[in-house]
A and B are shown apart, each in its own frame.
Chain A
Amino acid sequence: MTTKLNANTRMVPVPSDSIVPERDLGKRPILETRHLGIEFGGLKAVDDFNLTIGPTEIAGLIGPNGAGKTTVFNLLTKVYEPTSGTVLINGRDTHRMTVTQACRLGVARTFQNIRLFDKMTVEDNVRIGLHNQIRYGMMTGILRLPAFWQKEKRQHEQALDLLSIFDMQDLADVTAGSLPYGAQRRLEIVRALATNPSLLLLDEPAAGMNPHETEELMRNIVRIRDQFQIAVLLIEHDMRLVMGICEGICVLNFGKVIAKGTAAEIQNNPVVVEAYLGKQKEG
């Protein structure tokens, strides 16, 4: 059906009622949520959400529209404070943390509706990702002290390095807002990687891409995982991508987890087929 990159992955249960790939067993999970939930005025958008992601796992979060997938992302990145349960990132409780603090803990994300710094150049977009990696103060910048030149140079080099992941070095001076759609999506991933994350959250990375681009994106996500040794959690509607590269898949419906497992398990799960994949069947 698709390029099966995870044919040999075996998922094993961990104590918190979740599963991770076998190679990540015994290592501290990068993300662990326990009974995570949020209510908006009585409506439980996410309820009793348990998920564990190993440090080098590619995991997928799928579900019909309005199932609460993006809400989960917003909970993980601290845009929302959960009304129940906890989010542990790299073993640390993120209770009452801000978005900025969560980023410093190593969570980076892309957005469903692209959110680039439109009026800034591609390189400057990546440099914002490097904001906390290569630091110098306001006065150093105004007075152009030696540290300024040295760190600007390092930022420049590192930004071009990161852009080369997607062969975008030549676009460094282009205004981000004027990039074509696919390139904007790729730039968002590069920008997120610049924050030196240990967990990368991708919100519909393949949206609006043609099959050829999706294929390339799949290869790139796996490559990024291998190169940076990070975990990836992605929301996606494109089943070819999800089934192709995700080792663990979590299915959400009406804010509740209805199934967890490997691609094969999910595909054969009658509950999932009924709630989600059944509707997608063609012919």
Chain B
Amino acid sequence: MKLKQRKFLNNLITYAMVVAAYVICTLLINGGQMSRSLRGQMVPICCWVVMAVSLNLVVGISGELSLGHAGFMSVGAFSGVITSGWLLNSLQMEDATLRLVIAIVAGGILAGIAGVLIGIPVLRLRGDYLAIVTLAFGEIIRNVLNCVYVSVDADGLHMGFLNPSLPGTLLMNGPMGAIGVKKIATFAAGFVLVMLTLVVVLNLSSSRSGRAIMAIRDNRIAAESMGVPVTKYKMMAFVTAAVLAGMAGALYGLNFSTVTSDKFKFDQSINVLVFVVLGGIGSVRGSVIAAALLTVLPELLRAFSEYRMLVYAIVLILVMLATNNPLLKGWLNALREHLPFGRKQKGGEPA
């Protein structure tokens, strides 16, 4: 029972942290205390937090290294942008919030479908092979999207593959990406999406399905012989993560006036992986913090202008060294012992 309470408290802290961060940022924005560039980062931060937490579901809880997470984000981004454009131009839906919600849902569904299609071949593989193939699929998605042309008129949507001559206004112009997007993403929507992601991932991981996913991670053969259908649960983790990434993508896409597939290149997948690894594999709260800080960091480092990314890299290395430092770790653990709630589980000697 003690362990359960500790877990509950831990989750509560994560939720409280996100709520507090949202409230503080909103207050700062309303009070005009936040710089313009930082204000512009609010929605992307939410998106990257969702990306990191959902990738943590695959890497930390399911134990499979996926390097194509940005691919699902791009599917979500473009389907979100197209849905929003279609609702506005074809159905004259003026309500931006409703459009945003429908676009996010559409992004999630389409990314989920992509997740199923890619998951079927990919989840037959293990370890390094799976990582390489997800990387490849991430790039394939991006390149396919480069060839898609979508336009809208009163009749509805028109699609062309490698064929830009479509009637109506172009929503998606092949390699030029989606243009003339109406920016309808809001920080509030981002906050809701982050909370939704946290609920899904935290609740899933402490339920029957989540335990099955973790069992497969720990010992596939044993899980199988306990009657756990391995493929089903691996798929569940992979597709859930894809859906969440798609939703984050839709929000991300609708935050800019132009969306090109270059924004979802392989290095973005690696970036998200960096958030997960730095935050601690399997630690949801860590992912949230790492994603938020590391998204803001390059922005804060603008003072270094050209050396920005260099400094960013050095900071990353320093953080990694610091978090692996036994001295620091021991000190942190000692600190935890004195706190009532943060006490680490003493796995070990039987009572």
Residues in B whose Cβ lies below 8 Å from that of A30: none
Q: Mark B294-319, 1 if CB is under 8 A from A, else 0.
A: 00000000000000000000000000
- Tell me, yes or no, whether A138 is within 8 Å of chain B by CB: yes
Report the minimum CB–CB distance from A168 to chain B (whole Å).
8
Classify the secondary structure of B's interface with A. Answer: helix
- Tell me, yes or no, whether A228 is within 8 Å of chain B by CB: no
- Tell me, yes or no, whether B221 is within 8 Å of chain A by CB: yes
Residue of A nearest to B351 (CB): A170
Q: Mark A134-163, 1 if CB is under 8 A from B, else 0.
A: 111110111110001001100100000000
- Tell me, yes or no, whether B183 is within 8 Å of chain A by CB: no
| A131 B350 Cβ-Cβ under 8 A | no
| B209 A173 Cβ-Cβ under 8 A | no
Residues in B whose Cβ lies below 8 Å from that of A115: 219, 221-222
Q: Mark B236-280, 1 if CB is under 8 A from A, else 0.
A: 100000000000000000000000000000000000000000000
* Contact status of A129 and B3, CB under 8 A, knowing A120-B218, A175-B347: no
Query: In chain A, residues 105-131, which have Cβ atoms closer than 8 Å to a Cβ of chain B?
Result: 108-109, 111, 115-121, 124, 127-129, 131
Q: Which of B20-28, B184-192, B223-231, B327-335 contacts A (4 or more CB under 8 A)?
A: B223-231
- Tell me, yes or no, whether B199 is within 8 Å of chain A by CB: yes
- Tell me, yes or no, whether B208 is within 8 Å of chain A by CB: yes
Residue of B nearest to A171 (CB): B350
Contact of A141 among B208, B225, B347, B350 (CB under 8 A): B208
Q: Which of A33-41, A177-185, A210-218, A245-253 contacts B (4 or more CB under 8 A)?
A: A177-185
| A174 B350 Cβ-Cβ under 8 A | yes
A155 and B206 alpha carbons, distance in the complex (Å): 13
| A104 B236 Cβ-Cβ under 8 A | no
- Tell me, yes or no, whether A260 is within 8 Å of chain B by CB: no
| B215 A141 Cβ-Cβ under 8 A | no
Residues in B whose Cβ lies below 8 Å from that of A127: 208, 211
Residues in B whose Cβ lies below 8 Å from that of A16: none
| B227 A195 Cβ-Cβ under 8 A | yes
* Contact status of A173 and B224, CB under 8 A, knowing A118-B219, A138-B236, A141-B203: no
Listed residue (B199, B208, B215, B218) with the most chain A CB atoms within 10 angstroms of its CB: B208
Report the minimum CB–CB distance from A179 to chain B (whole Å).
7
- Tell me, yes or no, whether B2 is within 8 Å of chain A by CB: yes
- Tell me, yes or no, whether A86 is within 8 Å of chain B by CB: no
Residues in A whose Cβ lies below 8 Å from that of B227: 100, 103-104, 131-132, 195
Residues in B whose Cβ lies below 8 Å from that of A134: 208
- Tell me, yes or no, whether B348 is within 8 Å of chain A by CB: yes
Contact of A170 among B3, B208, B350 (CB under 8 A): B350
| A116 B222 Cβ-Cβ under 8 A | yes
| B2 A173 Cβ-Cβ under 8 A | yes
Residues in B whose Cβ lies below 8 Å from that of A179: 350
A88 and B200 alpha carbons, distance in the complex (Å): 42
- Tell me, yes or no, whether A99 is within 8 Å of chain B by CB: yes
- Tell me, yes or no, whether B210 is within 8 Å of chain A by CB: yes
- Tell me, yes or no, whether A90 is within 8 Å of chain B by CB: no
A119 and B229 alpha carbons, distance in the complex (Å): 20
| B236 A100 Cβ-Cβ under 8 A | no
Report the minimum CB–CB distance from B192 to chain A (whole Å).
16
- Tell me, yes or no, whether B181 is within 8 Å of chain A by CB: no
* Contact status of A175 and B345, CB under 8 A, knowing A100-B229, A131-B227, A132-B227: yes
- Tell me, yes or no, whether B212 is within 8 Å of chain A by CB: yes
Residues in A whose Cβ lies below 8 Å from that of B141: none
Report the minimum CB–CB distance from B200 to chain A (whole Å).
6
Residues in A whose Cβ lies below 8 Å from that of B236: 138
Q: Mark B316-349, 1 if CB is under 8 A from A, else 0.
A: 0000000000000000000000000000010110
| B350 A180 Cβ-Cβ under 8 A | yes
- Tell me, yes or no, whether B204 is within 8 Å of chain A by CB: yes
Report the minimum CB–CB distance from A145 to chain B (whole Å).
11
| B225 A108 Cβ-Cβ under 8 A | yes
- Tell me, yes or no, whether A191 is within 8 Å of chain B by CB: yes
| B210 A111 Cβ-Cβ under 8 A | no
- Tell me, yes or no, whether B30 is within 8 Å of chain A by CB: no
| B209 A117 Cβ-Cβ under 8 A | no
A118 and B209 alpha carbons, distance in the complex (Å): 18
A50 and B230 alpha carbons, distance in the complex (Å): 31
A53 and B242 alpha carbons, distance in the complex (Å): 48
| B3 A142 Cβ-Cβ under 8 A | no
| A141 B222 Cβ-Cβ under 8 A | no
| A138 B209 Cβ-Cβ under 8 A | yes
| B219 A131 Cβ-Cβ under 8 A | no
Report the minimum CB–CB distance from B190 to chain A (whole Å).
20
Extra contacts besides A116-B218, A170-B351, A194-B226 (10): CB < 8 Å: A100-B230, A117-B219, A128-B215, A129-B226, A132-B227, A136-B207, A175-B345, A175-B347, A178-B348, A183-B350
18 contacts between A and B (CB under 8 A): A99-B225, A100-B224, A100-B230, A104-B227, A109-B225, A116-B219, A117-B214, A117-B215, A120-B214, A120-B215, A124-B211, A124-B215, A128-B215, A131-B208, A138-B204, A141-B204, A151-B208, A175-B345
- Across the A-B interface, the 3 shortest Cβ-Cβ residue pairs: A141-B207, A175-B347, A103-B227
B residues contacting A by CB (< 8 A) are 2-3, 199-200, 203-204, 207-212, 214-215, 217-219, 221-230, 236, 345, 347-348, 350-351
